[in-house]
Amino acid sequence: MAADSPLGRAADARSDDELLADARTGDAAALEALLVRYQPHLYRFGLRMCRNEDDASDVAQESLMAMARSVRDFRGDAAVTTWLYTIVRRFCASKRRRGKFAPTHEESLDVPGSVVGEQLADPSPSPEKAAADGEIDAALTAAIDALDPGQREVLVLRDVEGLPAPEVASVLGISVDAVKSRLHRARVAVRQQVAPLLGSAAAGPPPTPECPDIATLFSRHLEGEIDRTVCEQMENHLEHCGYCRGACESLRRTLAFCRQSPAPQVPPPVVASVRAAIQAFVAQR
């Protein structure tokens, strides 16, 4: 492969749309740059959905080569990320049906903003931040892995990969309402597992009989589903309820950790295999 390949130099400055447009015209460097840019994200999605490094490696490689083969057929009537994650999801579903983690009974994955907004500020630093963050990351991974597949893929696409809800719906082939319903349940379940590690943010008095399902309500608020009246009622309740304030804060911080979760390093053998496959594919074009 040429020395100035994107695999061996700084990341290409072109946008996804620009890379895709150039790749469709036969620009091999643009195609390569686009595939390399998304390789860690596809590998992370495969890890979360397959829960196995070998399967995730296979999914990443198969998906990248499917993208290379189909790039000229992509008409641009959807976002680049919609196209990419639709492909990787298909390979994940196939791999999971054959993999050792395949459940004996599984809910169908085909039935019924960008990253969550500025409300999700970075978690506050602490003297033990590195160790604490590592523990939280481990708990977050375990909590996401414990979700049923339908909820897991929605949460990963929305809160980890940062796709807006309508784009998640397009990737999954379901309605936006179905996406949000699964998303709220997934967020609440993950928060319950992670909250004990968040210290004072999750601490507070026990709930009262007047407390609403505040975690779900706050999740709906983040997705723009709460009207002004309900929002004001929610704010008034939070002003006087330490439990609900803590629940909202712990959910906010949980989602911030989801958003900040770094894409894992793709195993070197996978990088080498993809490099060789891309080189061979480009040479045949």
Segment 246-276, tens digit of pLDDT:
999 999 999 999 999 888 888 888 778 777 7
Instruction: Clarify whether residues 144 and 54 are in a common domain.
Output: no
Does the structure show a pLDDT above 60 at 239? yes
Instruction: Clarify whether residues 155 and 277 are in a common domain.
Output: no
57: number of Cβ within 10 Å: 21
Instruction: Clarify whether residues 268 and 229 are in a common domain.
Output: no
Instruction: Clarify whether residues 154 and 59 are in a common domain.
Output: no
Task: Look at residue 106 and tell me if it is in a domain.
Answer: no
Decide if 89 contacts 172 (C-beta within 8 A): yes
Tally of domains in the chain: 2
CATH code at position 188:
1.10.10.10
Segment 88-132, tens digit of pLDDT:
999 998 886 665 444 443 333 333 333 333 333 344 444 455 456
Instruction: Clarify whether residues 37 and 158 are in a common domain.
Output: no
Task: Look at residue 224 and tell me if it is in a domain.
Answer: yes
Residue pointed to by tokens 């007047």: 210
Segment 10-61, tens digit of pLDDT:
467 889 989 988 988 888 888 888 888 999 999 999 999 998 888 998 998 8
Instruction: Clarify whether residues 89 and 154 are in a common domain.
Output: no
**Sorting pLDDT into bands at 50, 70 and 90, what band is 85?**
very high
3-class secondary-structure state, position 73:
helix
What is the rounded distance in angstroms from the CA atom of residue 100 to the CA atom of residue 175?
Answer: 30
Residue 77: which domain range? Answer: 6-101+263-284
Task: Look at residue 250 and tell me if it is in a domain.
Answer: yes
Task: Look at residue 113 and tell me if it is in a domain.
Answer: no
Task: Look at residue 237 and tell me if it is in a domain.
Answer: yes
Q: Give the model's pLDDT for residue 99.
A: 54
Instruction: Clarify whether residues 88 and 150 are in a common domain.
Output: no
Task: Look at residue 39 and tell me if it is in a domain.
Answer: yes
Our CA angle for 239, 242, 248, nearest 5°, is 85
CATH code at position 90:
1.10.1740.10
Task: Look at residue 197 and tell me if it is in a domain.
Answer: yes
Instruction: Clarify whether residues 255 and 267 are in a common domain.
Output: no
Per-residue pLDDT, averaged over 211-220, amounts to 94
The answer to whether the Cα torsion of 259, 84, 16, 76 is positive or negative is: negative
Decide if 276 contacts 25 (C-beta within 8 A): no
Task: Look at residue 173 and tell me if it is in a domain.
Answer: yes
